[in-house]
């Protein structure tokens, strides 16, 4: 028996604290009936969304992440990944009206806090049939789907400290064994996941990707995430942070703390001559390392109390951020003496949006 699926187009949207993530399933196997009823709007979407990579100044399609010719609920098609700042949500709504999207009524599955905040606009201005989904439920559903579909979705670094070649390998991930999921968005949620349908949010912290970006803008005068990451990559945090060896002259042997470990993040910045020596790149690097040290130690504590040996890291904070993934991977390995493995994900911040899209084929 064939299920009757909703009419196209199939969009799901995750409206987060910083970024809107939009996923679009482009069907490639339309029936003559569907071409008659939905063909025109799908052509319009193809013309605007799928043939461009940038939309205005702030919208981008991550074409490297596109999943081509996949099976989704028995249909064949391409999965597209699009993002823009949440601060531009009202421009996006105006654009949809300009493109006459509000003259058609179709279903959209929406998640993230903005699914609530923008519900009125979506229903009243865009005439959408708006279905809200919980962002953590959909996060796990999206992860479950993509990790099965894409053999390269999950990966790890064999030699995270080797900058030239950290040895990235695909990781064969099985969602049925318990793991920790650390989602680094504007803020951070830490989940203990036992299966696709059973999980608990065990912790969180407000010191997340938004903190990195906000502090970087304040300290360096940069104005975008991409710029902040570029600065951090070029900087040296030891010019800003006070290390164990700055205090001990070497290791703190009694408690096994090597000299190169940070004793005090930003601890050099009380001295004016140290401040004069630190460049904006150094400040950006130190901001990154400070946030990462905090994420690392909270994640490690959670993994130990929950007794799991795999930590998956998701969220857009890891976008174009190989540096942070290597730092996290090394820290997990070092502090757990090789017992806990850090695993990363190609589709970073898009899992909740993908999980919401799955509602179309339920």
Query: CB 355: neighbour CB atoms within 10 A?
Result: 29
Q: Smallest distance from the beta carbon of 360 to ligand ADP, in angstroms?
A: 21
Q: Smallest distance from the beta carbon of 296 to ligand ADP, in angstroms?
A: 16
Is 135 annotated as catalytic? yes
Dihedral-angle region of residue 315 (phi above 0 means left; psi in -120 to 50 means alpha; beta otherwise): left
Indicate the residue among 243 and 353 with the shorter CB distance to ligand ADP.
353
Compute the Cα dihedral for 226, 190, 235, 337 and give only its sign.
Answer: negative
Question: What residues make contact with ligand ADP under the rule CB under 6 A?
Answer: 16-19, 85, 112, 185-186, 209-210, 212-213, 225, 315-317, 319, 349
Q: Smallest distance from the beta carbon of 188 to ligand ADP, in angstroms?
A: 9
Per annotation, catalytic residue among 26, 40, 119, 135: 135
Q: What is the CA radius of gyration of the chain?
A: 22
Indicate the residue among 118 and 317 with the shorter CB distance to ligand ADP.
317
Query: CB 70: neighbour CB atoms within 10 A?
Result: 16
Is residue 203 within 8 A of residue 298, CB to CB? The reply is yes
Letter string b/e over residues 136-145, b meaning 16 or more CB atoms within 10 A of that residue's CB? bbbbbbbbbb
Indicate the residue among 57 and 174 with the shorter CB distance to ligand ADP.
57
Q: How many H helices and E strands in the chain?
A: 12, 17
CA–CA gap between residue 116 and residue 16 (Å, rounded)? 11
Residue nearest to ligand ADP (CB): 16
Indicate the residue among 251 and 322 with the shorter CB distance to ligand ADP.
322
Letter string b/e over residues 273-287, b meaning 16 or more CB atoms within 10 A of that residue's CB? eeeeebeebbbbbbb
Is residue 53 within 8 A of residue 60, CB to CB? The reply is yes
Residue 66, burial from CB neighbour count under 10 angstroms (0-12, 13-18, 19+) = middle
**Nearest Cα residue to 156 out of 346, 348, 344:** 344
Indicate the residue among 171 and 225 with the shorter CB distance to ligand ADP.
225
Is residue 61 within 8 A of residue 82, CB to CB? The reply is yes
Indicate the residue among 210 and 355 with the shorter CB distance to ligand ADP.
210
**Nearest Cα residue to 105 out of 11, 21, 4:** 11
Q: Smallest distance from the beta carbon of 272 to ligand ADP, in angstroms?
A: 30
Indicate the residue among 268 and 316 with the shorter CB distance to ligand ADP.
316
The DSSP-derived string for 310-321 is EEEEESGGGTT-
CA–CA gap between residue 7 and residue 95 (Å, rounded)? 22
Q: Which residues are catalytic?
A: 135
């Amino acid at each position: 028996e064939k299920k009757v699926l909703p009419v196209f187009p199939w969009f799901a949207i995750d409206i987060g604290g910083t970024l809107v993530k939009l996923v679009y399933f482009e069907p490639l196997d339309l029936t003559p009936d569907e071409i008659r009823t939905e063909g025109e709007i799908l052509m319009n979407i193809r013309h605007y969304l799928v043939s461009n990579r940038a939309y205005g100044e702030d919208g981008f399609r991550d074409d490297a992440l596109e999943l081509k010719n996949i099976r989704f609920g028995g249909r064949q098609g391409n999965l597209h990944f699009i993002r823009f700042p949440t601060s531009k949500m009202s421009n996006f709504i105006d654009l949809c009206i300009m493109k006459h999207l509000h003259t058609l009524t179709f279903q959209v599955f929406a998640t993230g806090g903005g699914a609530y905040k923008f519900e009125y606009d979506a229903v009243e201005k865009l005439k959408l049939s708006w279905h809200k989904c919980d962002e953590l439920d959909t996060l796990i559903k999206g992860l479950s789907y993509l990790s099965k579909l894409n053999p390269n979705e999950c990966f790890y670094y064999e030699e995270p400290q080797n900058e030239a070649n950290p040895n990235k390998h695909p990781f064969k991930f099985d969602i049925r064994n318990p793991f920790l999921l650390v989602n680094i968005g504007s803020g951070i949620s830490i989940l203990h996941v036992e299966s696709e349908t059973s999980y608990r949010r065990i912790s969180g912290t407000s010191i997340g990707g938004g903190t990195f970006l906000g502090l970087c803008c304040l300290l360096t005068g940069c104005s975008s995430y991409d710029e902040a990451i570029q600065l951090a990559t070029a900087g040296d945090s030891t010019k800003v942070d006070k290390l164990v060896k700055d205090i001990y002259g070497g290791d703190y042997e009694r408690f096994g703390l090597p000299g190169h470990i940070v004793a005090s993040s930003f601890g050099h910045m009380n001295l004016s001559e140290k401040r004069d020596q630190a460049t904006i790149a150094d400040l950006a690097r130190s901001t990154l390392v400070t946030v990462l040290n905090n994420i690392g130690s909270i994640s490690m504590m959670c993994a130990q109390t929950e007794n799991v040996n795999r930590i998956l890291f998701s969220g857009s904070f890891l976008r174009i951020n190989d540096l942070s993934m290597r730092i996290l991977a090394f820290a997990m390995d070092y502090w757990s003496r090789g017992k806990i493995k850090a695993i990363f994900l190609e589709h970073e911040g898009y899992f909740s949006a993908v999980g919401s899209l799955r509602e179309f084929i339920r």
